[in-house]
Each structure stands twice: as C-alpha cells, then as structure tokens.
C-alpha cells in the first residue's frame, strides 16, 4: 500500500517534484545543503514513512525466510537485523529489504512498490507479500502487510545517540542492532554516513514522534539529504541504480544482502558462480560531474567513452561537499581513469570516476580526473 505522510502539510516542508522516486514524503525543508551538513556534523531526522513494512510471525519464520530470500537468517538472533534480496531465477534483483528480528517477529521494510517476479514459471510481477504468500506452502508462518500501522523515521549524524537517550531508547552499538520500545523498534544502520538509526513508530503517532525528535534537537531533513549521503556511501536504490539485468555483485550487495555460501534460494546459482569467477559484467562507481554548465544527467541516461556507451546513470545527487555526483553502472572494460560523458540530449556533462569507489584494480589515476573537473 502507498502512504502519504502528514508531514507534507507541515510548515516548511517541500514535496518532491513529479516523477521523483521518493513520492509521499518531504524532499527537503528549505535548505537541503544545510540539512546535509547537520546530518554529518550533528543530527537530523528524515521522514521515510513511504517505505512498505511486512511482518512475518510463526515458529518457522526464520527457516522459511531462509529459503526465499538471499541472506542467511536461520540463526538471526532476537535483537538483530540484516539486509536481504529477492532474486529472479537468473539472479537478477527483484527486491531489496532491511530486516529486524524482535519480539518473535521479523519485520521487513522495502522501498514503496516492491515487486517480485512470479513464484510460478509463467508468473508476472507480484507485490512482495503476494510472492511470499505464494511461497509459503505448508510452512508455519503468517505474513502481514503492516505499512498502514508502522512508519519509518531515520536519524542521521553523530549526535543520533543523544536523541535516542532523550527518547529513553537504548540501542546496541553494533550495526543492525535492534531494540524494542513502546509501540515500535529502533535499528542501527551502517549507512548512510557514519551514524544512522531507523526508528519504526506507530503510523498514527508519526507527527507526535516527529515533534518529540525535533524538540530534542534533531533538524528536519528531507530525502534529498538522505539520498546525497546514500550516494556518497555507495549504497544503491533499487530501480534507480539497478535495471532489469542487475545482479548483486554489481552494486555491492554481496555479503551485506546476499550470502554466497548458502543454497536453496532462487538465483543462488548465479550468485555463487559470479562470486567464484570474480568478474561481474558491470560495477557501480561514484561519478564526479562537471557542474559548471548547471545541467545534470538523469537516471537511465547513458555514460559514454567517446562515442561508445559504457554504462548507465543511476542516482544523481547534489552533495554539500562533493558537488554534483552520481552513481553509475559501468562495464568492467571501461577504464576508470578516463574522462567520460554522462547524460543524453541537452544534458551531457563531463564525468570522472572517483577512484575510492572502485576496488583496488589500478584506479588511482581517477583522482586526477576528478580534480580536473572540480578545479
């Protein structure tokens, strides 16, 4: 289901433009660059209540999930979480989700409109819940869409724990630690940025929780700030940084969301084979864009080396320190020290690969290219 945040009606809230993937929640609150700075130096709160939330209960919840998602979860301890994927039979990514195991329940939140290809050979796209229901068979689990009951807020910044203390919420220091509080739960995330905590609260109390958090000192921030820090953190967004051919290895989801050793999940053969060979056809990189023309490429635009298309543009962001940047899927054959062209039609700009975004395969010269664009 799709939920519209009541915070869109709050003073100062700016909605995203039509067609933007983060519909339903504030895009920014008047100064997106200041919001980013606060999210890296202090603490900011982002409304991400458009995310969909499922819950899985029952005595076989972990053993059943282990069979239908890409992550190893048979021993997922209470009070912990992880990330996971649903893949199609060829190993292409259908859905990305973040898990929290608390109170004998596994919560799975995903981007709005999460889909999975049909459980049957000729099945078409289904909602994530429909796919799970089709795969339940005789397992002792119950699956429920609780998007209408729960909403997600994210704290960003080094002072996030101070806000948590003010709210009387205690949370472990390890990534994906989960703790319950009255009506919801908190989950520590390793991204975006250096400090991030998800708070899942009752949707009916979303405005109250927002007021409590901002009264405690967190600055309101929008998805613009969240996405800029996500891009800097090299974390993809499904459907923006991926296409119908994307496999987990190309977008840094091996390990964090896809387990290479466990079997018995759809698409596992591709995951294992490509991991062992070690050469996925593409890789996700961070591009520094020449911002002097004040035009920017769009998601899905080509990346070219001369006249040859060598990749596609994913997320495009205005970062408070890095300037205009983008995530891009590049062919492995594309040299990372080359000056590229990103965009199409009248929005073509020069681009350079950030060498720190590429595995240590001789990418150092890319820093000089990025410096030329910035200079």
pTM as predicted: 0.93
Average pLDDT over residues 301-319: 97
| Closest listed residue to residue 119, CA positions, set 269, 266, 268, 271 | 266
**Predicted local confidence at residue 263, as pLDDT:** 78
- Token digits of residue 268: 């596992």
- In this predicted structure, the answer to whether residue 370 has a pLDDT above a threshold of 60 is no
* CATH level 3 topology of 53-145: Alpha-Beta Plaits (3.30.70)
- In this predicted structure, the answer to whether residue 373 has a pLDDT above a threshold of 50 is no
CATH for 7-51+148-233? 3.30.1360.120
Long-range contacts of 15-24 (CB under 8 A, 24+ apart): 16/223, 21/111, 21/237, 21/239, 21/240, 22/50, 22/223, 22/227, 23/50, 23/112, 24/49, 24/50, 24/112
Sequence ranges of the domains in the chain: 7-51+148-233, 53-145, 281-357
**Predicted local confidence at residue 122, as pLDDT:** 61
| 281-357 is a CATH 3.40.50.300 domain | no
- In this predicted structure, the answer to whether residue 149 has a pLDDT above a threshold of 80 is yes
- In this predicted structure, the answer to whether residue 210 has a pLDDT above a threshold of 70 is yes
- In this predicted structure, the answer to whether residue 245 has a pLDDT above a threshold of 90 is yes
Backbone dihedral region for residue 229 (phi beyond 0: left; psi -120 to 50: alpha; all else: beta): alpha
**Predicted local confidence at residue 43, as pLDDT:** 98
DSSP string, 60-113: THHHHHHHHSSS--TT--TTEEEEEEEE-TTS-EEEEEEEEEETTEEEEEE-TT
- In this predicted structure, the answer to whether residue 366 has a pLDDT above a threshold of 60 is no
Q: Please give the share of the chain, as a percent, with pLDDT higher than 90.
A: 83
- In this predicted structure, the answer to whether residue 207 has a pLDDT above a threshold of 80 is yes
**What pLDDT digit, counting tens, does each position of 91-147 carry?**
999 999 999 999 999 999 999 989 888 776 666 789 999 999 999 999 999 999 999
Residue where the block lists tokens 């990418």: 363
Average pLDDT over residues 260-269: 87
**Predicted local confidence at residue 120, as pLDDT:** 67
Contacts of 153 (CB under 8 A, 6+ apart): 45, 46, 47, 48, 49, 198, 199, 201, 206, 209, 210, 213
Q: How many helices (H) and strands (E) does the chain have?
A: 8, 19
Q: pLDDT averaged over the chain? A: 92
**What pLDDT digit, counting tens, does each position of 44-66 carry?**
999 999 999 999 999 999 999 99
Residue where the block lists tokens 């410096």: 371
Query: Is 38 strand, coil or helix?
Result: helix
| Closest listed residue to residue 85, CA positions, set 252, 231, 234, 197 | 252
Cα 338 from Cα 67, distance rounded (Å) = 43
What phi, psi does 283 have (nearest 5°)?
Answer: -145, 145
Q: How far apart are the first and last CA of the chain?
A: 46
Contacts of 14 (CB under 8 A, 6+ apart): 26, 27, 28, 29, 30, 222
Q: Which of 164-178, 261-275, 339-353 has the lowest mean pLDDT?
A: 261-275
Cα 274 from Cα 248, distance rounded (Å) = 10
- In this predicted structure, the answer to whether residue 365 has a pLDDT above a threshold of 80 is no
**Predicted local confidence at residue 3, as pLDDT:** 83
């Amino acid at each position: 289901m799709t939920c519209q945040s009541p915070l869109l009606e709050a003073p100062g809230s700016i909605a995203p433009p039509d067609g933007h993937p983060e519909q339903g929640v504030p895009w920014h609150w008047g100064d997106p660059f200041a919001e980013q700075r606060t999210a890296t130096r202090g603490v900011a709160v982002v409304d991400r209540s458009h995310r969909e939330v499922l819950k899985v209960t029952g005595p076989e919840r972990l053993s059943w999930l282990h069979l239908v998602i890409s992550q190893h979860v048979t021993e997922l301890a209470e009070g912990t979480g992880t990330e996971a994927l649903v893949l199609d039979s060829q190993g292409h990514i259908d859905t990305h989700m973040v898990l929290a195991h608390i109170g004998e329940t596994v919560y799975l939140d995903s981007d709005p409109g999460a889909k999975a290809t049909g459980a049957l050979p000729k099945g078409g796209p289904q909602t994530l819940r429909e796919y799970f229901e089709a795969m339940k068979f005789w397992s002792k689990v119950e699956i429920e869409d609780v998007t209408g009951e729960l909403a997600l807020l994210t704290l960003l910044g080094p002072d996030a724990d101070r806000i948590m203390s003010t709210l009387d919420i205690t949370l472990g220091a390890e990534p994906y630690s989960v703790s319950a509080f009255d009506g919801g739960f908190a989950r520590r995330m390793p991204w975006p940025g250096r400090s991030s905590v998800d708070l899942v609260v009752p949707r009916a109390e979303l405005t109250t929780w927002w007021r409590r958090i901002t009264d405690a000192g967190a600055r309101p921030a929008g998805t613009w700030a969240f996405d800029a820090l996500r891009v800097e953190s090299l974390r993809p967004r499904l459907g923006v940084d991926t296409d119908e051919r994307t496999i987990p290895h190309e977008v840094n989801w091996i390990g964090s969301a896809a387990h290479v050793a466990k079997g018995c999940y759809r698409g596992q053969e591709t995951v294992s084979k490509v991991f062992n060979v070690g050469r996925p056809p593409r890789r996700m990189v961070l591009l520094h864009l020449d911002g002097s023309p004040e035009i920017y490429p769009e998601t899905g635009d080509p990346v070219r080396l001369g006249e040859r298309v060598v990749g596609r543009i994913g997320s495009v962001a205005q970062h408070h320190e890095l300037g205009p940047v983008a995530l891009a899927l590049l062919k492995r054959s594309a040299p990372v020290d080359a000056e590229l062209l990103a965009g199409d039609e009248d929005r073509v700009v020069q681009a350079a690969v950030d060498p720190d975004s590429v595995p240590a395969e001789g990418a150092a010269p890319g820093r000089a290219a990025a410096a030329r664009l910035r200079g």
